[in-house]
Amino acid sequence: MPLVIITGLPSSGKTTRALELKRLLEARIEARIEAEAEAEAAAGQPLSVQIVGDDSLGVGHAAYAAAQAEKDARGALLSAVSRAVSRQTIVIADAPNYIKGLRYQLYCAAREVGTTHCVVHCAIPTAEARRINAQRGAAGYDAAVFEALAARYEEPSAAARWDRPLFTLIQHDPDDRLPLAAIWAALVERRAPPPHFATAAKPAAGSADYVFELDRATQAVVAAILDAQRSGVPVALLPVPGTAARVRMPARALTPSELRRQRMQFTSLNRQAPLPADRIAELFVEYLNISL
């Protein structure tokens, strides 16, 4: 079954909500099993609930103090979720998930296996999260790390397909209960969206021609970005040969290693759910515009 993406500021109560949701979902699953048994329904493989996050992956707060360690932590989360998510397992991704690009990648992982997802936003004023974090002492985030994460936090928006269905909870408010019925409906009762671009004709997954075209098209986009940067001429929207899509160039310079990593992640996500060959470059540009 589906993926629940937990997101929020540091010390906003994400793990508390994840544990609460796991308990409520397991109770709901148990009640469902008992009801089906009484009705002598055909027994299929029962649902299970699994939390995947910083705690289970051994990622400490210190990982968010350095750019490379943080990227490694995000990569470990994405890999673990991709391995765990299935039609019979509800996976709760309990991590900051504060970058919309990572939430998009997690959304892609759910779509790749043909299952549903939703986002639970643990909303809290920054000042309150700062106060709670300070109260935690050594168990909390370092003050500088907290401020950096808070400054970079990208709140989810129901307008973005990777952030909906979106459930926003006011943290540490005893009256703001998890909307279990609505979450259950979004995860279990809702029809899963088709894999990416399922209506288009696709080549066989892993075929040599497709892999070659995926490599060629993504490499061409990366080359266009690096060539534009080397020219020294600033550009906000970079045209890419072979597509009408344009890369929204950030104010900073993009390094070859960063672009290579983004390219590897994109190809990994789409190697088993092939894209239409004539849209690979366009979709990679869209991916970069979300992730960078």
Q: Answer yes or no: are the C-beta atoms of 266 and 279 closer than 8 Å.
A: no
pLDDT value, residue 186: 94
pLDDT at 204: 46
Q: Which residue has the tokens 């997690």?
A: 106
Q: Which amino acid is at 288?
A: L
DSSP designation for 86 = B
pLDDT of residue 44: 56
- Classify 114 in phi/psi space as left (phi over 0), alpha (psi -120 to 50) or beta: left
Strands 3-8 and 89-94: parallel
The confidence score (pLDDT) of residue 83 equals 87
pTM passes above 0.75: no
Give the closest residue to 90 by CA, choosing from 43, 25, 32, 36: 25
Which helix (H) or strand (E) covers residue 37, if one does? helix 14-38
In DSSP terms, 3 is beta-bridged to 91, 117
From the list 30, 55, 48, 119, the residue with the least C-alpha distance to 85 is 48
pLDDT value for 174: 62
What pLDDT sits at residue 53?
93
pLDDT of residue 42: 44
85 CB-side CA count, 13 A: 25
Domains of the chain are 3-189 (3.40.50.300), 208-291 (no CATH)
Spell out the per-residue pLDDT of the chain, length 292, in tens. 699 999 999 999 999 999 999 999 999 998 887 776 655 444 456 789 999 999 999 999 999 998 888 888 888 898 899 889 887 899 999 999 998 888 988 998 888 788 899 999 999 999 999 999 999 999 999 999 999 999 999 999 999 889 999 999 987 666 678 999 999 999 998 887 765 543 333 444 446 688 888 888 999 999 999 998 988 888 888 988 878 889 989 888 888 888 988 888 888 777 766 778 888 888 889 888 877 7
- Region label for 12, one of left (φ > 0), alpha (ψ between -120 and 50) or beta (otherwise): alpha
